[in-house]
Amino acid sequence: MGNEPKSELTVRAVLSKQGLANSEIKQGAQRGKIWLRGVPTSDLGRLVSPEDVTYMPEAPRLMPGRDLAVLFRDDDLAVVWKPSGWLSVRAPGRGDERDLVSYVGNLFGQSFVVHRLDEETSGVMMVALNERMQFEIKRLLENHDIERRYLALVKGHPTETHWTMETTFIRNRGDGLRGSGQGEGAKRALTQFELVEKLQGGVSLVQATLETGRTHQVRIHLAEAGHPVLGDRLYGDNRSARKCPRVALHAAVLGLKHPRTGEELSFDIPLADDLEQLRRSHLPNRHSGGEVERRGRPPKKKARKPKGKKRR
């Protein structure tokens, strides 16, 4: 999990082999008709396993990376794909901005918050659709019976492939920010980390597994380990913060046993398009499946002088 599957095919190549014309592929990417492992994508250049790509012409029109998508829904629970830039819940002084829980409530009649993702974090998120399910999901979270894993692009190359951060968080560690420390109200924070991929330019892809769910837990622990998340202007340094226009953190895996039905629900979704493109920009070889990644305009060719007779 974490690394894109090793294959010689891009999303575009897979769809071409399925018989889609270039115009259909382009429009499908723009309108949310192309799905990768259960979520919409417009990134046609990423490497994939062909069975992970689905063309869904009847899917509701949406813009990948901007609009949320419902991954699962029954009478009790909704699981949604949250793009970066969405608030999880309504925030004071920001009532005119869209938030995910209220939006789900408008879709399905009512909604109840059970957990949150930071505004800039993308990925999979749950919303309870009745108070009973809200209570049951919160109980599962408190008992650590829900699997939650994140992917993060971070500064530097960790020396260990697996490591654990276990600290206690306080609201003010001395600089006005949350962080590890001792004092009144300190709460245990435990995160398991795995190095997924070392990239060029002093960047790594890391997986974080939550054992507790404190505010900004992954971001704080990675910054304290010396590997701040790219784009993190709160806990990172200026250099790492400039490497991404948003916090490069993605809620990739969610797994739980449905409290009412007993069904095992599991969601393992790929990196958001913008983070996958950032990852590829740090690969040593940017040729994938015969398709060259083009970021920016090609250099202009020098104009040739018209041929003619030379003047004497």
For residue 299, the model assigns a pLDDT of: 40
State the DSSP code for 119.
Answer: T
For residue 5, the model assigns a pLDDT of: 46
Calpha distance 182→70 (Å, rounded): 41
Residue 122 DSSP SS3: strand
For the chain, domain boundaries: 65-143, 145-257
Give, in order, the Cα–Cα distances in Å from 300 to each of 287, 305, 306. Answer: 21, 15, 18
For residue 298, the model assigns a pLDDT of: 36
Calpha distance 29→25 (Å, rounded): 6
From the number of C-beta atoms within 10 Å of its C-beta (0-12, 13-18, 19+), residue 171 rates as middle
CATH 3.30.2350.10 fits 145-257, yes or no: yes
- Same-fold call for 65-143 versus 145-257: yes
Calpha distance 188→166 (Å, rounded): 7
Q: How far apart are the first and last CA of the chain?
A: 72
Among the listed residues 52, 74, 76, 118, the single catalytic one is: 118
Asked about 274 being catalytic, the answer comes back as no
Q: Architecture of domain 65-143 in CATH?
A: 2-Layer Sandwich (3.30)
Q: Which two tokens mark 133?
A: 């399910």
Per-residue pLDDT of the chain (312 residues; tens, 9 = 90+): 545 545 579 999 999 999 999 999 999 999 999 999 999 999 999 999 999 999 999 999 999 999 999 999 999 999 999 999 999 999 888 878 889 999 999 999 999 999 999 999 999 999 999 999 999 999 999 999 999 999 999 999 999 999 999 999 998 887 888 989 898 889 999 999 999 999 999 999 999 999 998 999 999 999 999 999 999 999 999 999 999 999 999 999 999 999 999 999 999 999 999 999 999 999 986 544 333 333 333 344 444 444 444 443
pTM (2 d.p.): 0.86
For residue 305, the model assigns a pLDDT of: 42
Calpha distance 2→179 (Å, rounded): 27
